[in-house]
Amino acid sequence: ERKEVLRRKKGREGTMTLLLFFLFLSLSCLSANGRLSYNYYEKSCPKVEEIVRDVMVQKQILQPTTAGATVRLFFHDCFVDGCDASVLLSSTPTNKAERDADINLSLPGDGFDAIVRAKTQLEFSCPGTVSCADILALATRDLVTI
């Protein structure tokens, strides 16, 4: 009789453990369900896409290599370690930036200049709002489609 009680108790504990596992698993899936949105800056910087597009069109007219340079910059940033705009950072005396890595030394300056121009314009309209990674993605999209 005692063995039967212990067997049932172990069965309930196993079932409870399994239920808790699936509960935590389902909760973690819910919290990890981040979503991208097309209108992320709709309220904080409503003209972000217009500003980036205007700057890219002007830059492409002035320097026809801008599109290729920016696409290449986007590739080096996004397809290596994720889209974090780390390739745009400059080195400091104590830290060699990704931009100055041997593989990135041949990146054309037009791509960097295009992003800096867009960032400057956006800082006038909505200071401290639009990330450089988003600017690089928007600029690349616009330069590919113009």
Residues recognised as catalytic = 76
Annotated binding-site residue? 80: yes
Structure tokens at 124: 């006038």
Name every residue whose Cβ is closer than 8 Å to that of residue 51 and which is 6 or more positions away in sequence. Answer: 118, 121, 122, 125
Annotated binding-site residue? 82: yes
Annotated binding-site residue? 52: no
Q: Are 110 and 59 in contact (CB under 8 A)?
A: yes
Annotated binding-site residue? 77: yes
Q: Report how far residue 27's alpha carbon sits from residue 119's, in angstroms, rounded to the nearest whole number.
A: 38
Nearest to 129 by CA among 43, 21, 50, 44: 44
Q: Helix, strand, coil shares of the chain as percentages rounded to 5?
A: 70, 0, 30
Q: How far is CA 18 from the centre of its chain?
A: 36
Annotated binding site for Ca(2+): 77, 80, 82, 84, 86, 98
Annotated binding site: 77, 80, 82, 84, 86, 98
